[in-house]
Structure 1
Amino acid sequence: MTAYDARFRVWRGDAEGGSLRDFTVEVHDGEVVLDIVHRIQATQASDLAVRWNCKAGKCGSCSAEVNGRPRLMCMTRMSVFARDETVTITPLRAFPVVRDLVTDVSFNYAKAREVPAFVPPEGVAAGAYRMQQVDVERSQEFRKCIECFLCQDTCHVVRDHEENKAAFAGPRFLMRVAELDMHPLDAAAEAGLDRKRAAQEEHGLGYCNITKCCTEVCPEGIRITDNALIPLKERAVDRKYDPLVWLGSRIRRRSDSDPR
């Protein structure tokens, strides 16, 4: 197949505002959207701002919205679009624009700091942890996350309701809570940290209504909703409303406070 000219609309602007600009760019076999953005920079708009790093789908830097869908530009092949189709590239809508296709994703780093880290088990030296593979398979899936924040961008709780950001961690970080809660060696409970309570009361788990939009855009194929968020919701509900769990927690608290 020979090269062809394709039409692109790229958002140009900054925090004060901007608009879509039209470009006609030559496309070659095997190219991805990020290749086109680089060609626009090289030939038509040298000041076009775009964030990227590895170009291998592993750093998560080149997140943008292509024809309205959150994607990694380096993993979006031009072959998925018809030759006569206009391809529109815009910045992630859920986060403030810095310039052009670059957004301020510091919201996500603030949320990451709010999730308490792994609590190592007492009496086990670092490097001496031993786990069976069957015990870590569930949480291991979540370690594939490259923090592209596409799930955060497409989640309507974050995307469409700015006022929710203070109380809602978003799917990426609720998945982190779920990962730690499933970890066979995490000793958070022994240290007085209830991850299920924190997920519900501090990280806004109840805001999630499991539409699975986060799962649909994950470039790593992580089943965020089915394997992390729904099980975490089930455990949080059990902890709060199951009468046997409630009775057991009351008995444990009474035993812990008994001076005898």
Structure 2
Amino acid sequence: MGYQGHFRVWRGSDQGGGLEDFTVEVNEGEVVLDVIHRLQATQTPDLAVRWNCKAGKCGSCSAEINGKPRLLCMTRMSVFAEDETVTVTPMRTFPVIRDLVTDVSYNYKKAREIPSFRPPTGVGPGEYRMQQVDVERSQEFRKCIECFLCNNTCHVIRDHEENKESFAGPRFLMRVAELEMHPLDEADRVDQAQATHGLGLCNITKCCTDVCPENIKITDNALIPMKERVADQRYDPLVWLGNKLFRRS
């Protein structure tokens, strides 16, 4: 059976805005995106919301529901009490374009800063050989749907706009880790992660892992291993001595 749900939805643009209250029908089995679509159809035809697959695989409908970064299409209305007010706001870390739609171009800029896979010289496509354990190590990271909820919740850029220039965020530090863990990649990803992508700014609070809709263990399996590799390469006294003795950079 359906009921009348209470919603507060942020309306506005980059010039400003605020929360507006709505009462809208909610039916059994629906997700928040269903209700937002009904709101568009019945009360606010100009409400802007980004979405595509409605199956939790495209990452388009990222927003914040009752203050928590989530996918609208994967948040079931059954998790809320019928008399509870559901507040839907745009992702806070990125500039608002209109209503629930934000400008996530920051993320694509950071993606372009990461050098692509660099295979060994003389090894062509189709000639790569890897152990299964090496495949499995980075396969988890390939599940990322680029919803950017991890970057949105990361306080390094959420609370400090000035860090955006020097910090790639957990999504793209995870991409660096994926390439670093590839046994055939010959680029120096460890130094890049620290010097270029701001790995040192991450203090592993696991907030990125907590909001990942694909349940990727971003902190434990990507960020912490990269920090360990940085520590080994830059601060291990034996490695430092070996670099001095053998004149390695």
TM-score, normalised via structure 1 length: 0.94
SS at structure 2 position matched to 1:220: coil
C-alpha contact 1:94 1:158 (8 A) present in aligned 2: yes
Matched, 1:179 2:188: no
* Structure 1 partner of 2:34: 35
SS at structure 1 position matched to 2:247: helix
- Residue 252 (structure 1) shift: 4.0
The C-alpha deviation readout for 1:187-206, integer Å capped at 9, x for no partner, is 22xxxxx2111111111111
Whole-Å Cα distance in 2 between the matches of residues 90 and 186 of structure 1? 41
* Structure 2 partner of 1:222: 216
| Equivalent position amino acid for 1:243 in 2 | P
Whole-Å Cα distance in 1 between the matches of residues 245 and 176 of structure 2? 26
* Structure 1 partner of 2:241: 247
C-alpha contact 1:171 1:229 (8 A) present in aligned 2: yes
Whole-Å Cα distance in 2 between the matches of residues 118 and 253 of structure 1? 26
| Equivalent position amino acid for 1:120 in 2 | P
SS at structure 2 position matched to 1:65: strand
C-alpha contact 1:136 1:184 (8 A) present in aligned 2: no
* Structure 2 partner of 1:74: 73
Q: After TM superposition, list the pairs within 5 Å mapping 1:28-177 onto structure 2.
A: 28-177=27-176
- Residue 136 (structure 1) shift: 1.8
| Equivalent position amino acid for 2:37 in 1 | H
SS at structure 2 position matched to 1:18: strand
- Residue 179 (structure 1) shift: 0.8
Matched, 1:208 2:208: no
Q: Pick which of 161-170 and 242-251 moved more.
A: 242-251
Aligned identity (percent) is 76
- Structure 1: which 5+ runs fail to align? 189-193
| Equivalent position amino acid for 1:230 in 2 | I
| Equivalent position amino acid for 2:62 in 1 | S
* Structure 2 partner of 1:233: 227
| Equivalent position amino acid for 2:128 in 1 | Y
Residue number among 160, 169, 193 corresponding to 1:199 in the alignment: 193
SS at structure 2 position matched to 1:98: strand
- Residue 247 (structure 1) shift: 2.4
- Residue 244 (structure 1) shift: 1.7
C-alpha contact 1:139 1:179 (8 A) present in aligned 2: yes
The C-alpha deviation readout for 1:70-120, integer Å capped at 9, x for no partner, is 000000000000000000000000000000000000000000111111101
**Segments of 4+ in structure 1 off by > 4 A?**
none
Q: Pick which of 88-97 and 236-245 moved more.
A: 236-245
- Structure 2: which 5+ runs fail to align? none
RMSD, aligned CA: 1.1
- Residue 33 (structure 1) shift: 0.4
- Residue 41 (structure 1) shift: 0.5
Whole-Å Cα distance in 2 between the matches of residues 131 and 11 of structure 1? 49
| Equivalent position amino acid for 1:197 in 2 | D
- Residue 6 (structure 1) shift: 0.4
Whole-Å Cα distance in 1 between the matches of residues 102 and 134 of structure 2? 38
